[in-house]
Amino acid sequence: MKIISAVTEIREIIKEWKRNGLKVGLVPTMGYLHEGHLSLIKKAVSENDRVVVSIFVNPTQFGPNEDYETYPRDINKDSALCESAGADIIFHPEVSEMYPKGACTYVNMTGLTDALCGKSRPTHFQGVCTVVSKLFNITTPDNAYFGQKDAQQLAVIKRMVKDLNFDINITGCPIIREEDGLAKSSRNTYLNEEERKAALVLHSAITCGQSLVNDGERNASVVINRMKDIINAEPLAKIDYVEIVDMNTMESVSVIQGEILCAIAVYIGKTRLIDNFIANVG
Ligand code: PAF
């Protein structure tokens, strides 16, 4: 497995793969890999002839007071994990390689990006769409893999691929959880012992919401309020949002019907964590 940092170099290798008729899978990540990422890489390995994992902490998707500087990084550990999962190349560019001096073109989406994380992090999805478009153009994958934990991101990327005519299949993969239910996230590493215990309220709220919907509750406010009560009972937790939206439009719904996304973002101390469930109600 190779670690490549130059756009020209990775392009040459992928062109050669394509000349040989090989199918290419891309797993975009910001590194500090965990079992969630590994499940994406393994899926990509099982469905493609060659797999590229990009590891790039993308500055444009972080707001001014967010954790870009402190975001955890460990390329040595990441490369060992990628190799064991069967990846062929890690694309690990410098910021100056991805955003050379003078770069001033961004990919911007309206509508889908206004709700949920887009409301609390107004420039986040512009950064995500821009970097993912660039990664798609650089690596020209046949297939790309994203985690369902960032359900809004997955919906945004699927829409972007459709709207901008990228010839790429997007696959969403299920949330991978710790044994006690906490969704795996690189940001879990920020939590101290007490916060780690408190972070379980996210899973408790999600489990409660899901049971209510499964048991036939169709009033979104009832579900949201029960979930909020659970989170508010934890002194270290502060709600950013608890919302139920239409899976296709990301607009809030008052009646739970069709395919819905119930998504939450909660601060545990200074760490912002997200979780969600999707339901299809006939
Ligand atoms: O989900 C992530 O890790 C990032 O948002 C992504 C898709 C790699 C873009 O930087």
Ligand 1 centre to CA of 244 (Å) is 23
Q: Which pLDDT score is estimated for 282? A: 84
Instruction: Classify domain 2-173 at the CATH topology level.
Output: Rossmann fold (3.40.50)
pLDDT for 194 equals 98
Q: Which residues of the chain have pLDDT under 70?
A: none
Is 37 catalytic? The answer is yes
Q: Can you give the residue ranges of every domain in the chain? A: 2-173, 186-274
- Provide the pLDDT for residue 95: 98
User: Is 33 touching ligand 1 by the criterion CB < 6 Å?
Assistant: no
Residue of the nearest CA to atom 9 in ligand 1? 128
Residue of 26, 2, 19 lying closest to 136 (CA atoms): 26
Cα–Cα distance measured from residue 205 to residue 139, given in angstroms and rounded to the nearest whole number = 39
135 lines ligand 1 (CB under 6 A): no
Residue 114 Cα to ligand 1 middle (Å): 18
Q: What do you get for the CA distance between the two ends of the chain, in Å?
A: 46
Asked whether 28 lines ligand 1 (CB < 6 A), one says yes
| CA distances for 273 relative to 2, 124, 196, 241, 269, angstroms | 32, 15, 11, 11, 10
Q: Which tokens go with 204?
A: 């408790």
Atom of ligand 1 nearest to the CA of 186: 3
pTM of the predicted protein model? 0.98
Say how many Å lie between the CA of residue 125 and the centre of ligand 1: 10
Give the residue ranges of DSSP H helices in 91-123: 95-98, 116-120
* Residue-level pLDDT at 153: 98
Phi and psi of 114, rounded to 5°?
-80, -25
Predicted pLDDT of residue 28? 99
Pick the CATH number of 186-274 from 3.30.565.10, 3.30.1300.10, 3.40.50.12500, 1.10.3210.10: 3.30.1300.10
124-139 and 7-19 are packed helices; what angle lies between their axes, rounded to 10 degrees? Answer: 50
Place of tokens 């696959």: 171
